[in-house]
A and B are shown apart, each in its own frame.
Chain A
Amino acid sequence: KQEVTQIPAALSVPEGENLVLNCSFTDSAIYNLQWFRQDPGKGLTSLLLIQSSQREQTSGRLNASLDKSSGRSTLYIAASQPGDSATYLCAVRRTGGAGSYQLTFGKGTKLSVIP
């Protein structure tokens, strides 16, 4: 059974700092890994998708890496801003046939960026 762990559970940083969020998973047989952002009481916003054959993906100030063999992914946020304050969730999709879109999520890291 796939298990996803995110460390730390909460993180508080001053504005402008670069930071790294960690995600680990127990079963390396994944199809892809997706990072999401969730604001309080809201739905999930997709940030980055990394296919199992890829090592990293970048979008603006965000960079996500994937090391499938060690079961790890990191989300790097450059020059953090107060608007980045949210919970960040990591999710892995298992390998499977067509239509297999089940994601296994971690509990998230709650990020607070202090002005």
Chain B
Amino acid sequence: ETGVTQSPTHLIKTRGQQVTLRCSSQSGHNTVSWYQQALGQGPQFIFQYYREEENGRGNFPPRFSGLQFPNYSSELNVNALELDDSALYLCASSGGTGRPNTGELFFGEGSRLTVL
């Protein structure tokens, strides 16, 4: 069973640029959610995708957007990067088809974004 994979692992951008982060969900999971974790803080919920539609969003501005594809993989896009966007971005997958759904979330290793 393949776990949650994210790419890239590290990247550096400058203020005002745009970034796309990618996530492949764990095999059999149909729901993907994204979290932002600033240094020394707990992860903060950005949004969640289910059946290719956003069905939950945290307190993040519209310049944070996403996509989910038919194979349940997902992208997080951030436009007009700000210094405060520097963080670890975590993707989690959950749910599933053909198996009992415990509601447990499984996370990837994250993408470390630095905005200069």
Which residues of chain A have a CB within 8 Å of any CB of chain B? 4, 31-32, 34, 36, 41-46, 49, 51, 89, 91, 93, 99-108
Contact = CB atoms under 8 A, between A and B. Distances in A.
A31 B103 contact: yes
28 contacts: A4-B42, A32-B104, A34-B104, A42-B109, A43-B4, A43-B90, A44-B92, A44-B107, A45-B107, A46-B105, A49-B102, A49-B103, A51-B102, A89-B42, A91-B42, A91-B105, A99-B48, A99-B55, A99-B56, A99-B95, A101-B92, A101-B105, A102-B45, A102-B56, A102-B58, A103-B43, A103-B105, A105-B43
For the complex, would chain A's binding face be called helix, strand, loop or mixed by DSSP majority?
strand
Nearest to A31: B103
Given A42-B110, A46-B107, A101 B40 contact: no
Contacts of B105: 34, 46, 91, 101, 103
Contacts of A89: 42-43
Contacts of B56: 99-102
A70 B4 CA distance: 34
Contacts, number: 75
A100 B6 CA distance: 22
A102 B102 contact: no
Nearest to A42: B109
B31 A99 contact: yes
B33 A102 contact: yes
Given A41-B112, A105-B42, A107-B41, A46 B31 contact: no
- Most chain A CB within 10 A, of B4, B35, B103, B112, is at B103
Nearest to B9: A41
Contact of A46 (B6, B41, B50, B104): B104
A101 B33 contact: yes
Contacts of A31: 103
Nearest to B57: A102
Contacts of B28: none
A26 to B, nearest CB: 15
B48 A102 contact: yes
A36 B48 CA distance: 19
